Amino acid sequence: MFSFGTIFCVLCERQVAKNQSRRVAGRKDLAVCTSCHARWQQLGSQCQRCKTRVVDERDVGVFLDRYALGHLDCGAGGLEPGRNGRSWVDAAAG
């Protein structure tokens, strides 16, 4: 059951709080949560298409066909900016 203030994370397939996620650009119903993003960073921030490290957080996108993160230049769909311009680090801190 969907509830207000939550959104579906495409990576962990759970309902997460909207303020703990970034929406997929152009999709109101899909997002990537901060815990999935943090786990991806701990594993080396590797693009799933070209297998190189994603350095700049503004270049991060999501591949909806394989449910993974990677470079925007490699064809990943963009993520909308955080609420009030918050970065991933700010959102994870609460």
CATH of residue 82's domain is 2.10.110
Residue 46 CA to residue 28 CA, distance in Å, equals: 26
Domain count, the chain: 1
Mean pLDDT by 10 residues, the chain (94 residues): 78 90 87 92 92 87 89 89 57 49
Task: Please tell me whether the overall predicted TM-score, pTM, comes out greater than 0.85 for this model.
Answer: no
Question: Structure tokens of 42?
Answer: 């701990």
Q: Domain for residue 1, yes or no?
A: no
**Within 13 A of 21's CA, how many CA atoms are on the CB side?**
24
The predicted pLDDT at position 42 comes to: 93
Residue 43 CA to residue 40 CA, distance in Å, equals: 5
Q: Domain for residue 59, yes or no?
A: yes
